[in-house]
Amino acid sequence: MSTSFDMIRAHLSNAVPFANTVGVVLGDITDGHAEARLAQRPETSNHISSMHAGAMFTLGEAASGAALAGALAPVILECRPVAKDARISYVKVAKGTLVARAATERPGADLLAELQTTGKTVFDVVVAITDADNNLVSEMSVTWHVRLQTS
């Protein structure tokens, strides 16, 4: 039996073609949390044979969007989310398969209440990107502006 989070994962996999092109694979999505993976391959590598910074950014942004979708699951198909700002810090040279774990800084229930009361909400999603040995290779924060769509 499919859950709403499974449906969100399937929808996001089709709705964001750029992340698919890069090779981002969404994993678990729950209320305000998400995980995504990206395997290193020649197309995602840079001149020093490590993961390209742009590929890491795409991985983190995709995970943050999935966490957002998980937090707003009951109304996500009625929403228009737009990344307002993003900050990333590259902590360590990254090689191999990377995992991004993202979490909304506020509980999904609070975000839903604000969205349903005002028609919009602005919030941050924090992302930690680790390598196969669970070493932190990058930290990211994405500020999302979400608005309910009008008919």
- In the chain, what are the domains? 4-148 (3.10.129.10)
The predicted model scores a pTM of 0.92
As a whole number of angstroms, the distance between CA 69 and CA 26 comes to 12
Residues 123, 141 contacting (CB under 8 angstroms): no
Average of pLDDT values for 24-52?
96
At 1, is the pLDDT very low, low, confident or very high (cuts 50, 70, 90)? very low
At 137, is the pLDDT very low, low, confident or very high (cuts 50, 70, 90)? very high
